[in-house]
Structure 1
Amino acid sequence: MDFAQADALNQAIRLLSLRHRARAAALIAPLGLHPGQEALLLELARTGPRIQAQLGEALGVEPPSVTLMARKLEASGHIRRTQAPSDKRASIVELTDSGRELAEQIKELWRKLGEETVAGIAEATVAGLPRVLAAMTANVDPRRVGRGVS
């Protein structure tokens, strides 16, 4: 790939990421949420209760970030944290009734954001985007970079 093509690709990804995050933040702000909190709530809605460290891994964020998000969401009554019976240092995080209701609202906003993001793009192209984007994400995963992954 030549520089012009690489530059165009990298700029497009950077701008999409910035604008998508800003739009998501604008959509969730009326719910009293900050960026990242919606992802944590949706992950719990998808998987059920999780160990806090597992949430960090699933969300791709560092443990202190999960701890901060969890504290804020617990203070607002959307999640509950309990000590894991098998490991006294670990916390199990689960949605409360309020958190489940909020997750349903977020799902609707996420659907809207998805539709906005792909407006005007052919349905066949949209269908393949999750696979392509997942491969691109894996290609730049810091745990894999430099291992010859192509």
Structure 2
Amino acid sequence: MAAQEEDAAQAGGPPVDRLGFLLAWHGGITDTLIRKALGATGLTPRQAMTLMHLADGPVTQKALIEWLAVDPSVVVGLLNDLETDGLVRRRRDPGDRRRHIVEITPEGTERLRTTDTALETMERELVADLTDRDVATLRRLLGRLRTSAEDFTCGE
């Protein structure tokens, strides 16, 4: 192990020798920062992501399940909580009564504004040492990572 890597490991810093662990370490810290930023909004990260998705307009419950890539029961619980708080509304699709349409409410839109402000502040602090070009490159590279279940086989 190089001296710099050994110093980082002893100081509790990131595991710099394995990219996967480095991404996980930064992801864990970022998750903590996101949860802290969202603390004032009363939302979980998944609830915030759902409101962000609904800000573009109503979607079917099935589309949310696919977009969040979770079990349908998770989305039902998530929507139940958001609906109880008055942040989203579900209604039957008049064209297909088996389908639910989900939309953000005015209260949800206001909560999303607060959420966006909190996240913007956190993100600015997170990337404070990066240039705008660095941030754009990071976004582009992260977008190219093969992290979906369909892409990743773990040597199967």
TM range (shorter): 0.7 to 0.9
| Structure-1 separation of matches of 2:147 and 2:104 | 31
Instruction: Give the equivalent residue in structure 1 for 2:34.
Output: 24
Mark the runs of 5 or more structure 1 residues left unpaired by the alignment: none
Structure 1 residue runs of 4+, over 6 Å off? none
Q: Specify whether residues 135 and 86 from structure 1 end up closer, same or farther in structure 2 by C-alpha distance, changes over 3 A only.
A: same
Counterpart of 2:45 in 1: which secondary structure? coil
Matches within 5 A, 1:79-98: 79-98=88-107
Between structure 1 and structure 2, the one with the greater Rg is: 2
Q: Quick one: which amino acid aligns to residue 42 of structure 1? A: M
Using the size of structure 2 for normalisation, the TM-score is 0.81
Instruction: Give the equivalent residue in structure 2 for 1:76.
Output: 85
* Deviation for aligned residue 1:99: 0.4
Instruction: Give the equivalent residue in structure 2 for 1:144.
Output: 151
Per-residue CA deviations over 1:10-60 (Å, capped at 9, x if unaligned) read: 111111211111111111122221231011011111x21110111122233
Instruction: Give the equivalent residue in structure 1 for 2:74.
Output: 65
Q: Quick one: which amino acid aligns to residue 82 of structure 1? A: R
Mark the runs of 5 or more structure 2 residues left unpaired by the alignment: 1-14
Counterpart of 1:77 in 2: which secondary structure? coil
Instruction: Give the equivalent residue in structure 1 for 2:119.
Output: 110
* Deviation for aligned residue 1:6: 9.0
| Structure-2 separation of matches of 1:36 and 1:67 | 12
Partner residue of 1:119 out of 99, 120, 128: 128
What is the number of equivalent residue pairs in this alignment? 140
Matches within 5 A, 1:24-63: 24-45=34-55, 47-63=56-72
Counterpart of 1:31 in 2: which secondary structure? coil
Counterpart of 2:40 in 1: which secondary structure? helix
Using the size of structure 1 for normalisation, the TM-score is 0.84
| Structure-2 separation of matches of 1:106 and 1:60 | 22
Counterpart of 2:18 in 1: which secondary structure? helix
* Deviation for aligned residue 1:7: 5.0
Matches within 5 A, 1:126-141: 126-136=135-145, 139-141=146-148
Judging by fraction of residues, say which structure has more helix. 1
Q: CA RMSD in A?
A: 2.0
